[in-house]
Structure 1
Amino acid sequence: MSVGRRSGSRNRRRQVSEDERAVAAQAYQTSVSRLRHTAHRNMRQTVAYATIFVAVMATWMIFIGQPTPTTFPWYAISILSGAFGLSTYLVREPHPRRYVLAAAVVFAVVGVTGIFVTD
C-alpha cells in the first residue's frame, strides 16, 4: 500500500483557469513547432550530406581511373548532385531550397543507378 495517498486521488485533477490552459496550450504548440523545425532541418542536412558523399566518391573513382567512356557521364551526374547538395546551404528561402535538394537527390539516384547499370 502506498503511504500518503488517499483512495481515488489518481482521478482527481487540479482545477485550472482558462488562462492557464491557454498558456499551456501555447507552450505545447511552440515546443512541437520547434521540434518539427529541428527535425526537418536535420533531415535536409542528412540528405544533402548523402548527395555530397556520393559526389566525393564519384570524384575519387574518377581520380583512380575507374570510369570507362560509357560510365563517365553517370559519374559526372553524380558529381553534379553533390554540387546541388552543396548549393542547398547557399539558398536561404525554403521553397527554392527544397527544389535544389530534390534536384540533388534526383541527380544522385540517376547517377548511381546509371553507374551500376552500365558497369
Structure 2
Amino acid sequence: MSGGRGSGSRSKRRQVSAQERAAAVEDYRDSVGRLQHTAYRNLRQTVAYATIFVAVIAVWMLFIGQATPATFPWYAVSILGGALGLATYFVREPRPRLYVLAVAVVLAVVGVTGMFLTS
C-alpha cells in the first residue's frame, strides 16, 4: 500500500463559513500590515545609520588632518547630513521624519561626492 493520499482527497476539503473566512482574511491583512511596518522601520533605521556613519567618518578625517580648504565644505555637508540622520530619531510624526531623512541622505550623498571629486 502506498500510504499516500487517495485519488479523491482534493474534494475532501473542510467547509468554512463566511465569518471564519472573513476572520482569516482580516488576520492575514493584519499580519502583512505588521510585516510591512517593521520592514519600513528597519529600512528607515538603516538609511539613518548610513548617514550617521558617513558623518562619523567625516569627523574622523577632520581629526586626523585629511581635510584641506577645498574639501572642508564637503566634510561639513556630510556631518550636517549625519546630524539630520540622527535627528530622525527625535521626530515623531511620520511625514516630517521622512522629509528629514530625505534631506539627510541628499546631504550625505552630496558631501561624499564632493569629497571624492575634490580629492
Mark yes or no: TM-score above 0.5.
yes
TM-score, reference length from structure 2: 0.96
1:35-94 CA distances to partner (integer Å, 9 max, x unpaired)? 000000000000000000000000000000001100000000000011000000000000
Letter in structure 1 aligned against 2:103: A
Q: What RMSD over aligned residues (CA atoms) do the two structures have, in Å?
A: 1.2
1:78 lines up with 2:78 in the alignment: yes
Cα separation, partners in 2 of 1:80 and 1:6, compared to 1, 3 Å: same
Q: Which moved more, 1:38-47 or 1:1-10?
A: 1-10
1:99 paired residue number: 99
Superposition misfits of 4+ residues, deviation over 6 angstroms = none
Q: Which moved more, 1:2-11 or 1:18-27?
A: 2-11
Cα separation, partners in 2 of 1:11 and 1:118, compared to 1, 3 Å: farther
Equivalent-residue separation in structure 1 for 2:88 and 2:2 (angstroms): 58
2:33 paired residue number: 33
Letter in structure 2 aligned against 1:49: Y
Aligned residues: 119
Question: How far did 1:5 drift?
Answer: 2.8
Q: Tell me, which stretches of 5 or more residues in structure 2 are unaligned?
A: none
Letter in structure 1 aligned against 2:98: R
TM-score, reference length from structure 1: 0.96
State the identity as a percent: 72
Equivalent-residue separation in structure 1 for 2:11 and 2:52 (angstroms): 55
